[in-house]
Structure 1
């Protein structure tokens, strides 16, 4: 089984234990009782889930357990030999717990009001000036072998005479059970130090160990499964934020019910069940809060979402008498597949569950991998309070020490809560051996290069984007390009490309080099020379991430370019916290390849020189950044994020012809929903001041052909382009555009036809200052605004899709058909 297939198995609810029983708790009407308290004879406790089910496990056998629930008579259940499942029915009682009633209103709501009022006195990050502690974390992906059938299935099919024919023998479940009986599917360990001070929390990873990898996958190490603090107004559970059940306005979203009183750490607590008021389960949290009866602090919290995935986050606290505070002790995160009709892809498609529902053609049978689950547990120790110790690089959310992945076994024995069991030991041995035999790490590195558009060959990564493309000016553009990699040098790089256009018959090329000035801040000093062509009036941000596609559809129909030869020198760095910046000096000679003259004070320019200084900066204030031994990375991408770019010409420097300045900006926002839906917003604008030729103004990314019929205008859709706007129809010296997209979950139409529906709306406004400067092209301005909306059906079949867009508003055309654009799309899903 390939590594990425193993990673798809990330996920249900119980750790392996020596002694385990399962059961369900109902009332006398056979309705499940969620979050009933289960207490064993050795004082071990657990609670039932939202369906009344429970898993009770222990390192040693226990003789009996007690089931209790507010308003019901507790019941003692004796353990019977060889019995693993217990169905318990509780009887209601008339004397409801009057001693826990605080007032005449809902007692649970009254208690929650006191919790909210006392948050600042109970939140460690509010009450304590500073603290630090260490954490040992273990994450496993495994399955309960006892839940998997050992049978070998036969797969049959009917022929045209309706005779049943044996196709093959399916032994996958049998093999899977054999594997999971001996080892886990995946396993990681991590030791971290957390430091809090000046309202900042930082994690420093002291040691990391990942089965099958000599060099850990930092994205997995840094992934935040759940909120560290339960007192935040927004509680995050697996990439989705929910209004907290103890937020100031929580009462509008949640209903509360007092379940029981339970002793934790020798202190009495109220056990309060909360559930979101919305009908859709996945729209909010559900769970239990254990509230200290004296100071109304949280002594334990169970946060859960049960929808397409069954996800739970459990926070256990330890009472510190000298500080009079409940401090985090154990945190547990669990995932199991819920009830859903579609395949679910999360974490960029790395983790996938198959749907359970029947379709029109076949009934899906549960496979062994449906029983796989993920569980992550963190144990805190070596805790210090109000130490006033300084935090190095406090703007970083995570810092991984240089030697973290090289720690000896003695390090792990010191920090593990308990020794690894035989199954965990075998997991490291078997996955490490599998990784070596299958060259998994090298294949993973190769896969990352491919995703970014490179093929590594020895010391050079060849650029797939440079191989072939097409546009109406160059025709087929054939080329070769690449950049040196770490095998060549870690501190020096050379890059370049050459290309030839079959239609314009001209060669283009680039050659550049860079030297690393700082590894921790990803600081490079670069220089390059380029002779190439570019679309006129196009907007590019220097700090934008490289996006690789097998094809770039929009340029196919572009025919208006300018040629440029340019010398550039720049510094790119992440030295400023939560930013990426480029400072650049350049001298560029420009020659328009279309009928155009720039009129400046009566002097007509058919070509010109532009010497400029440019600063481009991307700021992601809500993202988390991680410092790894190989550099600084954005570990958790959050929105909104902002990009600002300023370009200033340098008069009388290296034959510069014009005096001007340009300000460009954009703001991006995305929200992903657990059910697969996604909303994205884009606000972008630009302002050109001074003597700016049309080649360097703005066209707001048109993507429509000037053809007579809709069929003739069918082309591939762009990413953020105006699909109904014709090429060279509008130009602006100042503009602002807004785009909103909302993608719904995929719709199952047929067995292999399940499109992703996306609604799109775009609007733009602009103006042209000094139109008399531009001689040649005819164009319109956006002073009255431009509006279009449409629908995209992406990934209809094997990545291909179709979209339709309509143009309306002040710039609507007189012919109805001319306002319609039909576009094809193609999305390559690598499943990574």
Structure 2
């Protein structure tokens, strides 16, 4: 262990002080810029020679480059760097912008085509196995140029406050005033947020991916935030700048070639479409370095249009002829802060004077900084099954005591102060509790102490209850690590009835998802709902609008006992037994037996999600990356033997997948169900119509399995199959704002039958012909976070009236496919 640590420290020392070479050129004529100053933390390292070259050694992660007559720039330190400075004279910049053509260089596009073709072959995932370690650091702070200005501003502000006439203050007011000043001073002395994580990453084609958290530390937070530990970089994603579908968003220009560590590289400069004006902007948004031999990415430098808004740099290196990411450096503007004056003299100013002060008020930009280093690469590795057991992420240590062993650079004085100062405020401002509350939102919960409140139960709408108000609460791990009681209630505004339920989870282990559950309930539900067992929060929210125009409801009350267990990271099983009394809330009679029945049944549910990534938290399993394909299977068996009215068998399945080709991204949902034996209509399947079935415009919200043009509550089958197909066209564009828009072509279809519809004495139809609807969905409609879809019914159920077949659908973008 000591030898390994010594070698690691030696490697870190050599990498920190290894020699770097920077080449500085004029972005207009690409001639070298001599006498350019290269600085580290505002201290000059050296100047470029007549060839625009400087060789230097530094422990800085990033250096600044400045030259007379040019705009300053900065660059992440690498073995070889090339920087293109723009002229500071706006007239010269305008000339450069005019010369720049608004179409990509065909040579650059051909190189990028080969990069995409060879991407999988160059990826480490093409190896049989590998391992590496990583050190990542995320912080929130002012820009370096703003820190001194901020501290000067705060000092002047405090001095001016001292000179004001002292007025009588209550003890609480005086305390708040002192705390406010102290907080302002603290922000000037330390970062606002700091988090470090060290990981070991293992990969095997046979066993998959495993990430071991070696240590984790967050300023001001004592207990580990597991949801934050699961933060993922873009390490395994194809960078957006080179994706085929993003060609319309950039213009690419092959400009140069350069040798880096004995390998020749193409240099492709790119800019965003529409960036023709270079005033206060960069001429290019970034640079791509492509290895000539393998067409692998060596480096990406991607900048915002305006320099102050941020930048991203990623660097790769070859290991065993595959290209591993070795460094990431992000800087993203999060907003700006200004401070109001409380001076007595300001209160006497006119409205116009106050507005003028507001315009001239000093503002300080805050940024998120992300740095990541990947090292200690090994391939192949010994593939032991026990090393890959459990969830994707396993936590070896999380108290921050070992993090200094894995740091690839020493903390700055400002970063060290962050731990000291933020930690001192932790208990006072309850940072630990607030961080856990924010993490709970990822699961649709509000966490307050030992109680989790379920956001999904606050408000809803359906055609039976109309507005449904309610609340749900669950005692979390702060109450007990193994036992977790919960309860909920809801009230329907239209039916004026109270619904409620209560239960308790009893864990069998803290290592994985494994628990028994007992529950009692008295509630209502739309008839024929497709099973949502083991669906995640987002899927359930997306499908929650399925009953907006379905007034066919039934009531159910009873109890249920179940056991759920994650057999592997990919496979979850839930087995249950329940006894309920169920009654229709509509005019109904089944085979002359009435509308109220006792149901005794057992249920088994399987979920298979081989590519999803999970981490175990004190509050249970958290799926931090839901990857397709996924398969859901449900089988319910009804029994007369245990006091039930009927014997029946109900089966349903859902398969979800998507795949990418040169023609775009195709998404597939295939689903279906079947019931045999005797059972009331609500145990059969509704065909998930979302339409209102009335005259006028058909407008509805999307759902996971719904049909925009079909009337709700009209069709029921005892067997059916359905398909939901989407295809995203490989054409991305910008309309307004920053969001990128695209179009999806959509097809939805279903067909089924009902053997004895006469058994169910109420007004409905069976759907025994293929029901089709096609649509076009505009993603990020007008650069918003919403999608707008237009759908039309075709085929057997099409009617002569256009408005009967047409529907408009609205979807929140975050719900995804």
**TMscore range, shorter length:** 0.5 to 0.7
Q: In 2, distance between residues paired with 1:578 and 1:610?
A: 32
**Equivalent residues of 1:698, 1:735 under 8 A apart:** no
TM-score (norm 1): 0.66
Secondary structure of 2:586's aligned partner: coil
Query: Structure 1 residue 505: deviation in Å?
Result: 5.5
Equivalent residue, structure 2, for 1:217: 225
After superposition, what is the alpha-carbon deviation per residue over 1:739-782, rounded to whole angstroms, capped at 9, x for unaligned? 54879888559xxx999998674522212130344333231415
Equivalent residue, structure 2, for 1:700: 687
Equivalent residue, structure 2, for 1:302: 299
Q: In 2, distance between residues paired with 1:801 and 1:317?
A: 40
Equivalent residue, structure 1, for 2:581: 589
Query: Structure 1 residue 525: deviation in Å?
Result: 0.6
| Equivalent pairs, count | 684
Query: Structure 1 residue 57: deviation in Å?
Result: 4.1
Query: Structure 1 residue 736: deviation in Å?
Result: 0.3
Query: Structure 1 residue 259: deviation in Å?
Result: 1.3
Query: Structure 1 residue 145: deviation in Å?
Result: 2.7
**Equivalent residues of 2:716, 2:767 under 8 A apart:** yes
Query: Structure 1 residue 612: deviation in Å?
Result: 2.9
Equivalent residue, structure 1, for 2:193: 186
Secondary structure of 1:224's aligned partner: coil
Matches within 5 A, 1:327-338: 330-336=326-332
Higher helix share: 2
Q: In 2, distance between residues paired with 1:486 and 1:303?
A: 43
- Closer, same or farther: CA 54–491 of 1 in aligned 2, 3 Å: farther
Secondary structure of 2:749's aligned partner: strand
- Closer, same or farther: CA 58–108 of 1 in aligned 2, 3 Å: farther
- Closer, same or farther: CA 683–192 of 1 in aligned 2, 3 Å: closer
**Equivalent residues of 2:611, 2:629 under 8 A apart:** yes
**Equivalent residues of 1:528, 1:569 under 8 A apart:** yes
Equivalent residue, structure 2, for 1:26: 26
Within the alignment, does 1:473 sit opposite 2:467 as a pair? no
Within the alignment, does 1:205 sit opposite 2:213 as a pair? yes
- Closer, same or farther: CA 123–742 of 1 in aligned 2, 3 Å: closer
Query: Structure 1 residue 688: deviation in Å?
Result: 0.8
Q: What runs of 5+ residues in structure 1 fail to find an aligned partner?
A: 1-15, 41-52, 68-73, 91-105, 154-173, 229-234, 245-252, 338-350, 355-363, 672-677
Q: In 2, distance between residues paired with 1:697 and 1:315?
A: 56
Q: In 1, distance between residues paired with 2:373 and 2:55?
A: 32
**Equivalent residues of 1:454, 1:464 under 8 A apart:** yes
Equivalent residue, structure 1, for 2:434: 443
Secondary structure of 2:530's aligned partner: coil
Equivalent residue, structure 2, for 1:812: 798
**Equivalent residues of 1:22, 1:84 under 8 A apart:** no
Q: What runs of 5+ residues in structure 2 fail to find an aligned partner?
A: 1-15, 57-63, 71-83, 87-106, 155-180, 246-250, 276-284, 338-358
C-alpha root-mean-square deviation of aligned residues, in Å? 5.7
Equivalent residue, structure 1, for 2:527: 536
Equivalent residue, structure 2, for 1:231: none
Equivalent residue, structure 2, for 1:288: 289
**Equivalent residues of 1:790, 1:806 under 8 A apart:** no
- 2:514 pairs with 519, 523, 533, which one? 523
**Equivalent residues of 1:465, 1:550 under 8 A apart:** no
After superposition, what is the alpha-carbon deviation per residue over 1:492-519, rounded to whole angstroms, capped at 9, x for unaligned? 1222334455654554332322200122
**Equivalent residues of 1:272, 1:290 under 8 A apart:** yes
**Equivalent residues of 1:190, 1:209 under 8 A apart:** yes
Within the alignment, does 1:226 sit opposite 2:225 as a pair? no
- 2:263 pairs with 269, 272, 282, which one? 269
Equivalent residue, structure 1, for 2:176: none
Q: In 1, distance between residues paired with 2:455 and 2:139?
A: 37
Q: In 1, distance between residues paired with 2:740 and 2:383?
A: 54
Query: Structure 1 residue 658: deviation in Å?
Result: 2.5
- 1:774 pairs with 751, 756, 760, which one? 760
Q: In 2, distance between residues paired with 1:110 and 1:534?
A: 57
Secondary structure of 1:438's aligned partner: coil
Within the alignment, does 1:65 sit opposite 2:65 as a pair? no
- Closer, same or farther: CA 717–243 of 1 in aligned 2, 3 Å: closer
**Equivalent residues of 2:526, 2:550 under 8 A apart:** yes
**Equivalent residues of 2:467, 2:494 under 8 A apart:** yes
- Closer, same or farther: CA 471–118 of 1 in aligned 2, 3 Å: closer
- Closer, same or farther: CA 468–335 of 1 in aligned 2, 3 Å: closer
**Equivalent residues of 2:37, 2:46 under 8 A apart:** no
Matches within 5 A, 1:181-580: 182-197=189-204, 200-227=208-235, 235-237=237-239, 242=243, 259-262=257-260, 264=261, 268-273=262-267, 287-289=288-290, 301-305=298-302, 312-315=312-315, 317=317, 330-336=326-332, 372-381=367-376, 388=382, 390=384, 392-394=386-388, 398-401=392-395, 404-408=397-401, 411-449=402-440, 454=445, 459-463=450-454, 465-466=456-457, 469=460, 471-474=462-465, 477=468, 479=470, 481-501=472-492, 503-504=494-495, 506-546=497-537, 555=547, 557-580=549-572
